[in-house]
Amino acid sequence: MDRIPRRRSEQLLTALVITLVLAGLAVLIPAVAQRLAAARPVPTPVPTPTPTAPPAAVLLQDELERDLAGVMTIVNDHTFGTAFLIDPQGDFLTAASLVSGSESLRLIDNTGGSHPVRVIGIDAALGLAQIRATNDGRPMPFGDPATLQLDDPIVLLASPKVANLRPSTPAVLTARSAMQLTLRVDDLPGSLGGPVVGPGGKVLGVLTLAGKALPINLSLDDVAQWRNQAGTPMPLAPLPGTLVLRGSDTTSSPASGPTVQAVSPARASAAGDTLITIQGTGFAAGPTLRVHFVPLASPAGAFDGLAATLVNSSTLTVKVPAGRVVQDYVIQVTNGDGTVTSSRTAFTVTP
């Protein structure tokens, strides 16, 4: 009577086993889940990008202003370039090609004033020349071009008085040798002879060819040799029509020559030919009559207008051909008698 039936005891035993299994699973499952979670790969967090600081300017504003006080314009028989002051007695360095063979020269300071020039020395092998003129500029300090590394930023300077040149043009050193610095720079013919400067506003080279500069240390022997030379005085060169000075009320041509006063329309589309009318004074017929368009701020893209026609002494017409480079241009007129003048306001080719 007091014995539990066999079937009943088997049921109790089964229930106990199930209970123990469930209890074990309850303990094991969280631990296993935790281990599986720990083993599962977690994506690497993407780092928050840190903004890169822009590179510092090669020249501080006060350094640029100080340097430009010593950068001026040299004019020869037919064109102009750049020269820079190296000492208080008025000695300037420039490119030999601007001086050699010229029958007349003048220096234009940054007020637009002209000065007679003495040729102190020419080193054709280096492409360097030294001239002397009376002025109130500030001499530029020399630096060491050996400190330059490839891809270093530098600056090419020109006179701030010249409207068709940029006073400060960024450049990069792309190659170097003991005799030459090769630059990536948008230089213009009027920049020839200009100083290439680096940090601190110190001169590192002289632009003697397009995209090529003479390391300034190579000038030291010549400068020392020429220091006490009296030099050769030169006649005053005429002002070329390609030279446009900021703040001038008239064109930079001699008063007796032609002038360009207005152009209509002042813009032409590169998509097609455009006939423009140029107003001025002193225009004359002749075999040399020509209208040339000179880029205002680029070394490339100059072109001649087509079918330049004299209407009367104050009016010319010319066709701007399609496909010209989109940029601003100075209009240069070569008169029928060979005299040259330039506009003071830019003509623009648009897309």
* DSSP codes, 208-229: EETTEEEEGGGGHHHHHHHTT-
**Residue 347 has what pLDDT?**
81
Q: State the pLDDT at residue 267.
A: 86
Query: Kindly report the CA angle at 116 between 79 and 213, in degrees rounded to 5?
Result: 50
Q: For residues 127 and 280, what is the distance between their CA atoms, to the nearest angstrom?
A: 39
List b or e across 278-316, with b for residues whose CB sees 16 or more CB atoms inside 10 angstroms. Answer: bebebbeeeeebbbbbbbbeeeeebbebeebeeeeeeeb
pLDDT digits (tens, 9 = 90+) for 171-222: 999 999 999 999 999 888 899 999 999 989 999 999 999 999 999 999 999 9
| From 7-11, 252-256, 291-295, 316-320, the region with the lowest mean pLDDT | 252-256
Over range 282-299, report the average pLDDT.
81
Bond prior to 153 in cis (omega within 30° of 0): no
Q: Is the pLDDT of residue 241 over 90?
A: no
Q: What is the mean pLDDT of residues 99-106?
A: 93
Helix (H, G, I), strand (E, B) or coil at 28: helix
DSSP character at residue 96: G
Can you give the pLDDT at residue 192?
95
Overall average pLDDT of the 230-258 stretch: 71
Mean pLDDT confidence for 217-241:
91
pLDDT reported for residue 56: 44
Tell whether the model's pLDDT for residue 246 goes beyond 50.
Answer: yes
pTM to 2 decimals? 0.58
Beta bridge partners of 20: none
The predicted structure's pLDDT at residue 9:
67
Which residue did the predictor score with more confidence, 248 or 202? 202
List of residues 6+ apart from 207 with CB closer than 8 A: 82, 95, 156, 183, 187, 191, 192, 193, 194, 195, 196, 213
Residue 55: pLDDT over 50? no
Position 119 scores a pLDDT of 97
Give me the chain's average pLDDT, please: 83
**Over the range 68-84, which residues count as b (16 or more CB within 10 Å of their CB) and which as e?**
bbbbbbbbbeebbbbbb
- Does pLDDT of 54 surpass 50? no
Determine how β-strand 267-269 pairs with β-strand 347-350: parallel
Res 314 pLDDT > 90? no
Q: Distance between CA 96 and CA 131 in Å, rounded?
A: 10
The per-residue pLDDT for 263 is 84
What is the mean pLDDT of the segment spanning 290-296?
A: 83
Q: Who wins on pLDDT, 347 or 167?
A: 167
Q: Is 311:336 a contact under the CB 8 Å cutoff?
A: no
Question: Is the model more confident about 46 or about 193?
Answer: 193
pLDDT at 310 over 80: yes
**Mean pLDDT over residues 259-288, rounded?**
87
Interval 68-73 mean pLDDT: 95
What pLDDT, on a 0 to 100 scale, did the predictor assign at position 95? Answer: 97
Q: How confident is the model at residue 324 (pLDDT cuts 50, 70, 90)?
A: very high
Tens-place pLDDT, residues 153-176: 999 999 999 988 889 999 999 999
State residue 122's pLDDT score.
97
Rounded Cα distance, 58 and 69, in Å = 18
> Residue 322 is which amino acid?
A
Quick check: 81 and 94 in contact, CB under 8 A?
Answer: yes
Residue 48 pLDDT > 60: no
E strand or H helix that includes residue 263 = strand 259-264
103 three-class SS: coil
